[in-house]
Structures are given as structure tokens and as C-alpha cells.
Structure 1
Amino acid sequence: MVAIEVVRGDITRFAADAIVNAANSRLLGGGGVDGAIHRAGGPAILAECRALRASSLPDGLSAGDAVATTAGNLPARWVIHAVGPVYSTVEDRSAILRSAYTRSLEVADDLEARTVAFPVISAGIYGWPHADAARQAVSAVRGSGTAVETVTFVAFADEMADLLRAALDA
């Protein structure tokens, strides 16, 4: 069973086998966590993302899916780019959000990663309510069946760290 931890910090400085990027479907960088990972990781990450777009992912990566690249200058071996859904008040997209986590862990298993760090996917510009985003994240990881030994949720703000801890305790 995977151990789950919560820390407050900057995911771009977190040492793990793999860190997860809350990416957009284009895989070419963006704002928030995505932009921070691309900036801190350097040009190697973007180069691999462009190569993926030019070969196996010409239309981008679908919401709920994940793919890995190098981690460039980051203190990790890989970046797993996961695309979460945009929050909707008229359509339940929870299964897509959970899939972004479980697909990330499947990719991590393929890489034989033992430690993985996640941000909270879809909780930024994609508008997912923070408390539910934390619950969905914890639920997805707990139900994943991954061979990853430790998942660490790296929260940029104290509020999110508290919500993740509450979801773990529930």
C-alpha cells in the first residue's frame, strides 16, 4: 500500500523519482505549476514535449491522461505531465480528475519510480473547488493499486496543505 504524505513547499525543489506537472493538453508550458516546472526544469523538458507533439501526440494530451519526459534541471528523474479537467458546475468531471492521478501513477509504475510528488491537479486556473480537489486526489491515489512506495502531495499554500491533510484523515 502506498504511503501518502503532505508537505508545504515548491514542487520544483522537491526531490523524488518523478514529479507530476499539472499540464495543459498542449504540453508546451503555461501558467501556475506548469510554467514553474518548465522554467525550473529548463529547455530539455520543452524539447521532449515538442517531440511528443511532433510524433505520438499531434493533437495534444487528453484530460485524464499522463505522459513522462525528462526532468531537466529539476531534482527528479522524470516529469509526469498530467492533464486535469476544467471544473464544471453542470457536468461531473470527477472521474476525469481522478484519472489524471491514476494515469500518472501508471506511468510512474512503467518507469519503476518509487517516489512521486503531486501538486493538486485542476485546483488552479481550471477552477476546481479546493476541498473537493484534495478529496479527489487522495481518493484516486488510495484506490490506484500502484507499486509506487511514497506519494507526496506538495502544496504551495498552507490552506491546500490543510485540506489535503483533512482528506487523508477522513
Structure 2
Amino acid sequence: MSSRPEITKMLSISLEKYINPHNDPRIYYAREVTFDYATSHAVRVDYMRFKPLNNTVSGIEKGDFYCYEVKSSVEDFHSPNGHNFIGDYNYYVMPEEVYTAVANEIPYYVGVFVPSIKNYRGDWYDLKSEKKAKRRDRERPLSEMLFMMFRSCARERRGKNE
């Protein structure tokens, strides 16, 4: 597997399996979540997960957002796109050789996941943490973050029904 689209697809599937291994409807995540849509400074996060503390009002308010950016190569990492870390916890997902090449360029608060071994149940890899993310308070309100995730999920549902 050597082409960027193939690597990106493998990393994306691996991340989805990491985030929600059993298709649990109580795990809230979305792909390609866009903020500041239709402006000159739009931001798109590859994957975003919301993890409430519990299902009470205050537990939801105290929940955390996890943002993941998939980088398939050193060139992809060095492109100006896809470094949108607006969550409480932020991660890159990349091949180990890419991480080795760019480790010194990753901000201290951003974590890194790399594929480890191929999962016995399918064509994806189990992810391992090479660097743990440090919590960083987000600048956007909970309501905006949840709404943008909801909009991205609705876009995906609409696409499947067409």
C-alpha cells in the first residue's frame, strides 16, 4: 500500500474502528466537520468525537471534544491544510515513518496515533498512541461544536439515502 489515497483510507477506517469499535450509538463522532462554512477562513476537521461526562445536563456541558487529523505522508503533513486543532484533545493519525520524520514539528499538546498490527477482524490496523495529547481548553462553545458535528452527520445520512 503506497498511494496517498490508499493510506488515507486505511488510516481513516482504522481511526473509525478505534473511536467506535462496536458501532455503539452512544459514541458520538462525525467525519469532515466544517466550521465557519462559506467564509474565507473555513476550517474542516477530519474526525471529531464528543465524549460527555455523563448524560445529565451538567455532564454534557462538561464533555470533551477530540479532534483527529489524518496525515498520510510527510508532504501531506507539510501542506497548509488539515492542522485544525480546535478540540479539548487533538491528535494526528499517521503512519509511523511519517511520525518519525515530523516528530519535532508536532506541537507539544497534540497527540499522535500510528497503526500497529492489522486487526484480525478486517482490513484495518489497531492504533497505538505514540504521543498522548495534552488537554487544551477549546475556544468555541459547546453548542457550536455539537451543531457542526450534527450537520456533518446529517450530510452523511443524506448522501447514503441518495
TM-score higher than 0.5: no
Greater fraction of residues in helix: 1
Flag the structure with more relative contact order, 1 or 2, with Cα contacts below 8 A and sequence separation at least 6. Answer: 1
Greater fraction of residues in strand: 2
Q: TM-score, normalised by structure 1?
A: 0.35
